[in-house]
Amino acid sequence: MWHEFLPHFPKTSKYTLGAKIDSLFVEIIELAFMASYSAPDKKLPIIHNAILKLDLAKFFLQIAWENKSLDSKKYIALSEYMVEIGKMLGGWNRQLNSK
């Protein structure tokens, strides 16, 4: 979904803020993949890092929305997906903490 919105970013933000958000999304995917294949005792720090990156992505998306690089409709759509991702990572985190 994000890659549908990035080309419509203003040029002033596309290669700075847009690139940062894009990089964070890739890092979140990488961390989730790494955690899924890591040993059980190594998963928790990776999940914590993924949650941190997700929070950073939310923050930068809010900045993009506030400076009008991202319209409200796109911001809401992305935010809904990010809330779902946060729930999944949070559930994974709770499950690992209970062990």
Q: What is the pLDDT of residues 9-45, one digit of tens each?
A: 888 888 999 999 999 999 999 999 999 999 989 999 9
Whether residue 2 has pLDDT greater than 80: no
Place 87 in a pLDDT band, splitting at 50, 70 and 90.
Answer: very high
Q: What is the pTM of this model?
A: 0.91
Which pLDDT belongs to residue 8? 80
Q: How far apart are CA 32 and CA 29, in angstroms?
A: 5
Q: Which residues are CB-contacts of 99 (< 8 A; sequence separation ≥ 6)?
A: 40
- Contact indicator for 51, 93 with CB cutoff of 8 Å: yes
pLDDT reported for residue 88: 97
pLDDT above 70 covers what percent of the chain? 100
Angle, vertex CA 74, rays to CA 24 and CA 53, nearest 5:
15
